[in-house]
Amino acid sequence: MIVDSHQHFVRLSKHPEVEGFRKAQLAGKDPDALPQLSDVDVAKSLQVVLGLMTQRNIDMAFASPQAKAMATHAGTVEQNATWADLTNSLVLRGCQLHPGKFAPIGMLGQHQTCPSDRIAKQMEHWVGQGFVGFNFDPDGTGGRWSNQPFIGRHNYPVFAAAEALDVTLVLHGSESINSNFPFTAVQYLVVDIAAFVQLMMAKELFKDFPRLRFLIPHAGGALPCQIGRWRAIAKFYNWSSPDEILGSGNVFVDTCVYSHLNMQMLFDAVPLENILFGSECDGAFPGIVNPETNDHADNTSRYVNDSSLSGADKERVFSGNAARVYPRASRWKA
């Protein structure tokens, strides 16, 4: 079985009525009513993704709203809460319309001035609706990085809720208004790197929340190629080492890398029990072909299949680890 732990319902977020609602919000013209998409509209937006899943033998995917659309730096507290609830409701409908194919990952109404206990209550609501995890933006400033590190006590209500609800927080970046940090090319990876290093810096976090789980996408950013640097820096600053962080059972990464070389680097650097299969199926750069394979670059399952891992180890990466990291996903299986 192949479970894709990193998928976004990008086309659903880009539906004209949905996108138009957000544009109106950010223009200061809060619409009086939420978009009313039919089941046909929702299902139609997922046809390409379902086709690719069939082609790539992906049995199930953990699906979240478009990451860029989180736009946690924009809007107001109230607008972002409404926007998150709207997109979550659409993701939920997409999962319900395709039993056994998807499990929902939520968006949170983050904002620089939003108290985290409010975010925690939003998490409780959506877990009650069946959500198995949530994307959480460690930046939240659109690439300005003017907030305090996300590991601070200001986010403890969110971490307490995630631990109590037994859901995983995906530390995923969002939109960037910094022209030096294009969002898919740089900002997402900067968030991955910053998130992992901040977890190395966090002396008390996993003592306070021993069952808290984070997934850092895109293979942890620089983790596969810079783990040696981070081991040395950890000793220099007396931080937790990458090996301690990965060995704690609290931090995981996915396989969203796009060549045989990078996939092998990931398997060499990170323990297999910390790696979940992910592909961003039809997300980051749809239709772009890798000349090594003459196949879509984001068909990451072929890099796993073509690796030297044993059959048992491939099974752990493809599905076994996901069942452990996302225990609530079992209710969504066929």
Does the CA dihedral 164-170-174-180 come out positive or negative?
A: positive
Amino acid in the structure at residue 129: Q
Task: Tell me how far CA of residue 288 lies from CA of 160, 269, 281, 320, in angstroms.
Answer: 40, 27, 12, 29
Token pair 């946690």 in the structure block, residue: 72
Cβ burial 170-204 (10 Å sphere, 16+ → b, else e): bbbbbbbebeebebbeebbbbbbbbbbbbbbebee
CA 255 to chain centre: 12
- Assess whether 280 carries a catalytic annotation: yes
The conformation of residue 74, written as its DSSP 8-state character, comes to S
Cα(98)–Cα(334) distance, integer angstroms: 10
Catalytic residue among 19, 175, 244, 280: 280
Q: How many CB atoms lie within 10 A of CB 254?
A: 28
What is the distance between the alpha carbons of residues 204 and 151, in angstroms, rounded to a whole number? 9
Task: Just list the catalytic residues.
Answer: 280
